[in-house]
Amino acid sequence: MRRDNRNIKRIENKLEITATYKVNRSDELLEFLLKKCNTSRNNVKKLLSNHQVLVNGSVVTQFNLPLAKDDEIKISKNPVTDNNKKSDFIREKRKFYTFNVLYEDDDFIAIDKPHGLLSVESDKETECAFSYVLQYLQNKNKALRPFVLHRIDKETSGVLVFAKNTKIHSMLKLNWNEYVRVREYTAVVEGVMEEKNKTISSYLFENTNNLVYSSTNPNGQKAITHYTVLKQNPQYSLLKVNIDTGRKNQIRVHMQELGHPIVGDDKYGCTKNPFKRLGLHASKLEFIHPITKELISISAPVPGVFKGPFEKDKK
281/267 Cα distance (integer angstroms): 17
14/85 Cα distance (integer angstroms): 8
Count of Cβ atoms closer than 10 Å to residue 181 Cβ: 12
Q: Which residues in 122-141 are b (16+ Cβ under 10 Å) and which e?
A: eeeebbbbbbbbbebbbeee
Catalytic hit among 107, 153, 265, 313: 153
CA 109 to centroid of chain Cα atoms: 13
190/270 Cα distance (integer angstroms): 7
Q: What are phi and psi of 222, to 5 degrees?
A: -70, 135
* Residue 115: DSSP 8-state: T
* Residue 244: DSSP 8-state: S
67/21 Cα distance (integer angstroms): 12
- Which residue type does 247 have? R
Q: Around 13, how many Cα atoms within 13 Å sit in the side-chain half-sphere? A: 21
Picking from 199, 207, 193, 239, the residue whose alpha carbon sits closest to that of residue 223 is 199
266 is catalytic: no
For the annotated catalytic residues, the residue numbers are 153
